[in-house]
Chain A
Amino acid sequence: NAGVTQTPKFQVLKTGQSMTLQCAQDMNHEYMSWYRQDPGMGLRLIHYSVGAGITDQGEVPNGYNVSRSTTEDFPLRLLSAAPSQTSVYFCASSYSEGGEQFFGPGTRLTVL
């Protein structure tokens, strides 16, 4: 049981490039979320999903796209990276709405 996995661990992009951050969980959780953490701050919700095919926006969705085609995977896409998107990105999953959240190890992204 790997829990929540994220790839890559580190990534450096140039302004304007696109990329996809991968998130997968093997706990059969319906609920998945993406957060970003900036220095000295708590985590902020970007997008979340309550099941395959259903996604919604969180607190800071601009510049990010998500889709959920399977229960296991919830990728986060940056369409045109900007320096303001330099952050650490965490993926989380939970069994039920508002249930205990389990986090992946994070992806540290730098946009130059």
Chain B
Amino acid sequence: GIQVEQSPPDLILQEGANSTLRCNFSDSVNNLQWFHQNPWGQLINLFYIPSGTKQNGRLSATTVATERYSLLYISSSQTTDSGVYFCAVDIWTGNQFYFGTGTSLTVIP
């Protein structure tokens, strides 16, 4: 099956710092989505981004499908950004999303 790798696995930031999270995938995908899992376990949609670049406030994402990776940028981090960030890719058969193992982000004041 498809492999989805995220890096780094853990990240600790001072409030106000910027960061880049990476998602590599091993095969061609139909779509890619980024999620934030907050400390209460809820999965929050961040970006639905099969290709190109999108921005939403302090967050932006870029997917380069031909090179099989996606990047999530967090600028001016806040303590509320803490949690685990997942990318998930959809392969071309049915509605099957495969998740990476996530990046655990801790933002300290």
Contact = CB atoms under 8 A, between A and B. Distances in A.
The binding surface of chain B is classed by DSSP as strand
A103 B101 contact: no
A33 B99 CA distance: 13
Interface residues of A, number: 28
A69 interface: no
B102 interface: yes
Given A40-B101, A99-B31, A94 B43 contact: no
A42 B88 CA distance: 9
B73 interface: no
A42 B30 contact: no
Contacts of B88: 42-43, 101
A100 B33 contact: yes
Contacts of A31: 95
22 contacts: A33-B95, A33-B97, A35-B99, A42-B86, A42-B101, A43-B97, A43-B99, A45-B96, A48-B94, A50-B94, A88-B41, A92-B97, A94-B95, A98-B30, A98-B31, A99-B48, A100-B45, A101-B33, A102-B45, A103-B43, A105-B41, A106-B42
Contacts of A35: 99
Contacts of B98: 45, 59
Given A43-B86, A99-B31, A100-B33, A58 B45 contact: no
A33 B88 CA distance: 14
Interface in A10-54: 31, 33, 35, 40-45, 48, 50
A44 B99 contact: yes
